[in-house]
Structure 1
Amino acid sequence: MPHTLSRRAFLRASAAATSISLVGVGPALGAAGGFETPLAIPPLETGRLEGGMRIFNLTMQNGTHEFFKGYHTPTKGINASYLAPVLRLNKGEMTHFNVTNALGHDTTLHWHGFNLPGVADGGPHQVIRDGATWQPSFRILEEAATMWFHAHEMHETAPQVWAGLAGMAIIDDADGPTGLPREYGVDDIPLVLQDRRFQLNGTMPYSPSMHDRMAGMHGNYPVINGTIAPYLEVTREAVRLRLLNGSNASIYNLAFSDKRAFQVIGSDGGLLNAPVEMQMLTLAPGERAEIVVRVTAGEPVVLHSLAAQGGRRGGMMGGGMMRGAMMGGMGVQSPEFAMLQLRPAARLDPAPALPARLASLPVPDAGAATNTRQFLLEMGMGPAMRMGGGFTINGKAMDMARIDHVIKQGETEIWEIGNPGPMAHPFHVHNTQFRILSRNGQPPAAHEAGRKDTVLVQPGERVQILIRFDHYADPEAPYMFHCHILEHEDAGMMGQFTVV
């Protein structure tokens, strides 16, 4: 028989994890009894090298995970009970994966952010049947970057990722800059940011309501690397945080409790040209960022997600660790959470200043584009939407048998993504790293000027990106473009293209 949390214990745990208010700095989480669990650092998996090929064996499996002490929550994971080890990859290296499905149902495994053959993409067309092993191979073409991988089965992505089928990948580049924190688990820390909705018995079933289908599935607790209310013991003056928004639908506005500045050094596809100083960073589902924050010996600081700035604000059912912000009345998009406490030691090892130059990205040249395509992200109102439908791109819901665009290999294009609806949508394109040209005609902020594969499009906004597909062509193996709010993707806000 599973344990059942008493309502008093559940509320006590919720109160212990409540975050600061939108203004000012609230009491430390630890003062209420929170931040009692060390941050789980996923094991680092480097595979094995055979005949010039790096080989990884991955098993997608069912399990249980102890989010709350004494309560074993049914979950799914990859070589783990929940989430996956961090895969360490090397630029230029041929890589092979043996992906075995031991889940008891079909699945897929998508390599998010990678340039790779369509047959190796792991999208809805590369189904891994129960008990089967899928064996994709591809060369790592990307520069040093933080990538990820996750389930991507047609109409089933949201529940499978919710259960834990996702993980981070780190690409190393021997030609990258020196002077960055890079000791894994010490001053180079992976952070898979999620939130989950727990019931009194400790379970987190995927049971979306009508509201959840429209707004996306949000949780009442933040979960960081599978840990609730964790702390990280910091032993050096500067720490690099590899941030991955692996949530189903939440947009995190990340800031520290004392409003300290930090340096953004990388976006989805790798390092920026130079560090960018910020005090708050917005990260949508599917997006990644690398930041470096300096700490003071013996002085803890908390990483928060703040409720949305601007727009309508309101509440949401449930309490836990979240207070939500409403976007146009449609649903919570930016929850307020206390995510992680950094706990510096009484004495810290010194850390050098960051290099002034990190990469040499060319200025995107819109004049090189030979074609412009329009993508309109629409949420149809009325009964269809209330039933979880009505989510389209250019008026069409996803159809596996329909190719929406045929793109010529090696040609540069401008894609313009428009959002006429009431919710923000993170737009993701497979098999590429693009550059943002403009937001409503204005150039992107400095931290968005690097390589991207996912871009957040706000209500009423038009975003132009410069995009090309250089490396692979296959008229029979399509790639996807879609909203990365997983409930919207599953409901039809997705299309597909081939490269020829």
Structure 2
Amino acid sequence: MPRIPRISRTKRVLLIVTSALAVSAAALGGGLLWVYATADVSTAGAEFSRELAVPPLAASTVRADGTRVFDLTMRAGQKEFRPGEKTPTWGFNGDHLGPTLRAGRGEKVAVRIRNTLGEESTVHWHGMHLPAKADGGPHQMVAHGATWTPRWTVDQPAASLWYHPHPHGRTEKHVQRGLAGMFLLDDDRSRRLALPKTYGVDDLPVIVQDVTFDGARFDVEHGLLRDTGFLGERTMVNGTLDPYKVVGDELVRLRLLNASTARIYDFGFSDDRGFALIGTDGGLLERPARMDRVLLSPGERAEIVVRMKPGERTVLRSFPHDVYGGGWQRRLAGGDDSFDVLELRAADTLRPSPEVPAELGGLEVPDGADSVRERHFGLLTSGINGKKVRMDRIDLTVVRGTTEIWTVRNEHDTPHNFHVHDVQFRVLEVDGEEPPPRLRGAKDTVFVPPNKAVKLAVRFDGSADPKTPYMYHCHLLYHEDQGMMGQFVVVEKGQRAAKVRTPDPHAGH
């Protein structure tokens, strides 16, 4: 009988290790294929069963000196998004989200903010031009039980702005739990224009957020390999799941706000009808732009006007979009997802609406012709220009009254955007090309496609404060929380930035 050769102990070990690695590789490959195959989401064809909630206009009082005073209380609560199931939430003056604040250009405003959350937070006025000490960034923390009252004079055109928390390292969770609301500004020009303007009737706030329910909770963690941040499985508008709105006018104005923490939406209508884009982050365009899609990354806004016919229905939908670096990134960052967001139901008889004006007015943003310097910003999840934010470090000092050109480049395949506090800027170029119509208005937040650059003209014409910084950062809030943020101060010519203190968790007065 021939002898069977014996396998050495070393060879047996190698064989076992090799087999284990092969099994692990197959399992990993199979796992990645499963993740890829199950990563896309669609709610297209949803049934709309709940009437859209419209946030109430916030009550206010006017002091003898003309200051309009609002009151906001940050509080924990519960809301029944789904019948019979109460979800823990946060909100302003209620269980979830907050009222719509409204003021006019030239008005003095003050907002008394009380924090009853059980932990410190902030309230940032996103898109508002105001002093740094009133900005509500991470240097203006409000402790539990404390009150903070920022004051400023509204000094910018009519626009759809919003407010939300900005605590360093925890912004994503605070917004995800429901701390957000709109702040609408009016001016003489907007009041004169023949645009839909009856709040809650033909002029609708549309606060879009994505959610995933895990039992009763919806502040769940990120999915596997989701380096963009939290991406939910369905959307809600103004805190309403599967919402519909009955409208009684031929023209309806939708003030779209992407209040999600990471998801990018490409809004249009299910029947591909066109609409008029009339405004961007910082206010009205010079003239309406006809289109059938408008892309909004987190924090961006768009005002659109859509025409309805008696008795018809149409659905505001977010379509799949290819604005990512590759197929894998597109799938995992939500680019293949589609959502039915809001159904509009026209009444059988509609009130006539005048045509959208052909001219809306001039822009109050710089064109860059008088720029005094250029700056460059490289965006990576690990930081901006290779640095994570430090609360005691000033990254930039800018001179009040000057204009600068900022070139912002996304240096890898992960989606990013770029938000600058206090200012509205003009987008001059997108990767060397003229910006599309959705980027030709006043902007404070801009999507930066992977491996591409945007060029911005930014003017700093507010008050100088060498001690108190503003922020610039990615508004995908997981990225912001990880330190993808920087700080700048505005100074008078010849001044230098002062030493900045770290945020005081017991602030408030």
What is the TM-score when the length of structure 2 is the normalising length?
Answer: 0.86
Say which SS state the counterpart of residue 488 (structure 1) adopts. Answer: helix
Kindly provide the amino acid, as one letter, of the partner of residue 424 in structure 2: Q
1:177-326 to 2 correspondences below 5 Å: 177-199=192-214, 201-208=215-222, 211-212=225-226, 214-309=227-322, 326=328
Q: 2:379 aligns with which of 377, 387, 411?
A: 377
- Which of the numbers 394, 407, 426 marks the counterpart of 1:416? 407
Residue number in structure 2 paired with 1:107: 121
Map of 1:24 onto structure 2: none
**Alignment of 1:19 onto 2:43:** yes
Structure 1 equivalent of residue 162 of structure 2: 148
Aligned match of 1:387: none
Distance apart, 1:64 and its partner CA = 0.6
- Partner residue in 2 for 1:75: 89
Instruction: Give the AA of the match of 2:426.
Output: R
SS of the aligned residue for 1:211 comes to: coil
- Indicate how the Cα distance of structure 1 residues 43 and 328 shifts in structure 2: closer, same or farther if over 3 A, else same: closer
Which whole-Å CA distance do the structure 2 matches of 1:90 and 1:366 have between them? Answer: 28
Q: Deviations over 1:333-388 (max 9, x none)?
A: 56311000000011111111011111112684333111000000013xxxxxxxxx
Decide whether aligned partners of structure 1 residues 311 and 377 sit closer, same or farther in structure 2, where only a CA change above 3 A counts. Answer: closer
Q: Deviations over 1:414-461 (max 9, x none)?
A: 000001111221100001000001011111122311110001000011
Distance between the aligned counterparts of 1:472 and 1:487, measured in 2?
Answer: 30
Structure 2 counterpart of 1:482, one-letter code = H
Distance 1:499 1:283, change over 3 A: same
1:467 aligns with 2:474: no
Structure (1 or 2) with the larger CA radius of gyration: 2
Gaps of 5+ in 2: 1-40, 492-509
Q: Tell me the CA shift for residue 327 of structure 1.
A: 2.4
Counterpart code for 2:438: H
1:250–1:335: 8 Å Cα contact kept in structure 2?
no
Give the letter aligned to residue 230 of structure 1. P
Stretch of structure 1 that moved more, 408-417 or 441-450:
441-450
Q: Is the 8 A contact 1:330 1:422 kept in 2?
A: no
**Equivalents in 1 of 2:387, 2:198: separation in Å?**
47
Preserved CA contact (<8 Å) 2:159 2:184:
yes
Q: Does the 8 A contact of 2:123 with 2:166 survive in 1?
A: yes
Deviation track 1:311-344 (CA, whole Å, cap 9, x = no partner) reads: 5887xxxxxxxxxxx5256533563110000000
Does structure 2 retain, via aligned residues, the 8 Å contact 1:272–1:447? no
- Offset of 1:250 from its aligned partner? 0.4
Name the structure 2 match of 1:457. 448
Q: Structure 1 stretches of 5 or more lacking a match?
A: 1-16, 21-27, 315-325, 380-390
In structure 1, the residue matched to 2:416 is 425
Q: 1:79 to 1:259 in 2, by over 3 A?
A: same
Residue in 2 aligned with 1:401?
A: 392
Query: Which residue pairs with 1:49 in the alignment?
Result: 62
Give the aligned residue type for 1:278.
M
Report the equivalent of 1:493: 484
Instruction: Measure the CA separation in 2 of the matches of 1:496 and 1:438.
Output: 24
SS at match of 2:356: coil
Matched, 1:38 2:51: yes
Alpha-carbon distance between aligned partners in 2 of 1:472 and 1:103, rounded to the nearest angstrom: 32
Which whole-Å CA distance do the structure 2 matches of 1:366 and 1:246 have between them?
30
Does the Cα contact within 8 Å between 1:276 and 1:446 map onto a contact in 2? yes
Q: Secondary structure at the match of 2:480?
A: helix
Tell me how large the CA RMSD over aligned residues is: 1.6
Q: Which amino acid aligns with 1:160?
A: H
Distance in 2 separating the partners of 1:399 and 1:39: 41
Answer yes or no: is the 8 Å Cα contact 2:43–2:234 preserved in 1: no
Partner of 1:11: none
Report the residue type matching 1:273 in the other structure: E
Aligned partner letter, 1:336: S
User: Aligned partners of 2:331 and 2:52: how far apart in 1?
Assistant: 35
C-alpha contact 2:325 2:414 (8 A) present in aligned 1:
no
Letter in 2 for 1:47: S
Counterpart code for 1:472: S
**Cα pair distance change 1:491/1:396, threshold 3 Å:** same
Q: Is residue 54–residue 94 contact of structure 1 (8 Å, CA) maintained in 2?
A: yes
Displacement of 1:77: 0.2
Give deviations 1:208-244, integer Å, cap 9, x for gaps. Answer: 35634x2210111101100011000010111000000
The aligned residue for residue 132 of structure 1 is: 146
Task: Decide which of 367, 370, 373 is 1:368's aligned counterpart.
Answer: 370
The alignment of Structure 1 onto Structure 2 pairs a total of residues equal to 449
For 2:466 and 2:326, locate their aligned partners in 1 and report how far apart those are by CA, in whole Å.
46
**Greater CA drift, 428-437 or 354-363:** 354-363
- Contact 1:438 1:463 survives alignment (8 Å): yes
| Aligned position for 2:339 | 337
2:108 to 78, 81, 94: 94
Distance, in Å, in 2 between the alignment partners of 1:232 and 1:211 is: 36
Indicate the SS of the match to 1:59. Answer: strand
Q: Name the counterpart of 1:349.
A: 351
Give SS of 1:126's match. coil
* Displacement after TM superposition at 1:409 (Å): 0.5
**Percent identity of equivalent pairs:** 45
1:310 positional shift: 6.2
Cα offsets for 1:165-192 (capped at 9, x unmatched): 1111110112324210000111000000
> Does the 8 Å contact 1:198/1:221 carry over to 2?
no
Equivalent residue number for residue 132 of structure 2? 118
Runs of 4+ residues over 6 Å off in structure 1: none
Task: Decide whether the 8 Å contact of 1:250 with 1:334 is kept in 2.
Answer: no
Whole-angstrom distance in 2 between the partners of 1:342 and 1:376: 41
Give the match's secondary structure for 2:478.
helix
Superposed CA offset, 1:377-410 (max 9, x none): 013xxxxxxxxxxx20000001101100000111
SS of alignment partner, residue 407 of structure 1:
strand
Taking the aligned partners of 1:393 and 1:409, their CA distance within structure 2 comes to: 23
Provide the secondary structure at the position in 2 that maps to 1:395.
coil
